[in-house]
Amino acid sequence: MDLDAYVAAHHAEWRRLEELVRRGRPSGAEADELVELYQRVATHLSVVRTSAPDASLVAYLSSLLARARTRSEGARITTWRSVTSFFTERFPGALYRLRWWWLGTIAGSAIVTAVMILWLLANPQVEQTLLGPEQIDQLVNEDFEGYYSEYAAGEFAAQVWVNNAWVSALCLALGILGFPVIYLLFQNLANLAIIGAIMHRADQGAFFWGLLLPHGLLELTAIFVAGGTGLRLFWSWVSPGPVSRATSLAREGRTIGTMALGLAAVLFVSGLIEGFVTPSGLPTWARVGIGVVAEVLFLAYVFVVGRAAHRRGHDGDLDAALLEDRVATAA
């Protein structure tokens, strides 16, 4: 095929498609024309790839088609519909698909924490090597409760959200290496176990759980979800299954982005609870009840909304159209 002649024959159509892509809101006739030109240029790209695969021309047409697809579908990435779809399909679908990874992380973490607390209670000398008597007394009588009321509620909620979002982000970002995720989770569990053991030894166990559970149920669940997702990323290249390691890793890597955005919202809710509910004057049963309700709503979100989304084919990866655009542009 004479590539120069082919370009000359169809250049006007490509320029016209570029004009439509750059314009503002298209009229009905222009929208129809854009779709028709998109189909024609897609055919042109196929012909070029098959008969005269010029790299620069393939890249140009691929980029043009990607922009035209986005334009023809109403720039879906920036619409409220896209946000709604994310929280009703993509994010819950990812949570449901990865449920066994983060449920296993929750179960394992609960067992490890319980074992550490019981061991510390049975070995009080260990506690004495970590904190002195005055430090323990201050923790029990002042620091633990003061931590939740030291700052204004709004400022404290923001501080908590940033801290937990950072821990979750590290679990997701370092998941490809595996071990750092386990280390991060263990560090958090060890701190929880040490404080829990000290409070129980001082007969303040009910007080400890009364302050921890309102926000801790949802907060720790989000962190464990991040940990489980990170471990799944690690396992994607260790045992990729029927696909190549690159394909498996790419899929879970894209899902990491989905989980990072979704968990930021979950941690925002837990931060609000920790900032406004935990230090409030509500009775303990009411504060804990709010935490339980938040946790139940999250689990319902996963196993009702998430299961339905997963059955419709949503698993946290990019949808087929977006993925096709990215592949075409990369080509």
Q: Quick one: 22 and 100 in the same domain?
A: no
Instruction: Give mean pLDDT, residues 182-210.
Output: 90
Share the mean pLDDT of the chain: 84
Q: Is residue 329 part of a domain?
A: no
Last residue of a domain, one of 74, 94, 126: 74
For the cut 70, the answer to whether the pLDDT of residue 180 exceeds it is yes
Do residue 94 and residue 66 come from a single domain?
Answer: no
Answer yes or no: do 140 and 59 share one domain: no
Measure the CA–CA gap between 249 and 228, rounded to whole angstroms: 15
Domain with 147 in it? 85-318
Q: Choose one of 54, 74, 94: the last residue of a domain.
A: 74
Among 199, 185, 208, which residue's Cα sits nearest to residue 140?
A: 199
- 210 in a domain, yes or no? yes
Determine the pLDDT at residue 26.
Answer: 67
Given 55, 74, 93, the domain boundary residue is 74
Greatest mean pLDDT among 49-63, 155-169, 259-273 lies in 259-273
Looking at the structure, tell me whether residues 288 and 230 fall in a common domain.
yes
Q: Assess if residue 249 is contained within a domain.
A: yes
Which has more pLDDT, 19 or 325?
19
- Please tell me the predicted confidence (pLDDT) of residue 323: 45
Q: Are residues 217 and 129 in the same domain?
A: yes
pLDDT at residue number 324: 44
Q: Is the dihedral of CA 153, 169, 319, 44 positive or negative?
A: positive
% of residues, the chain, pLDDT over 90: 41
Residue 15 in tokens: 């320029």
Residue 325 pLDDT level (bands cut at 50, 70, 90): very low
For 126, 180, 187, 236, the CA distances from 174, given in Å and listed in that order, are 31, 6, 15, 13
What's the whole-number mean pLDDT along residues 42-59? Answer: 81
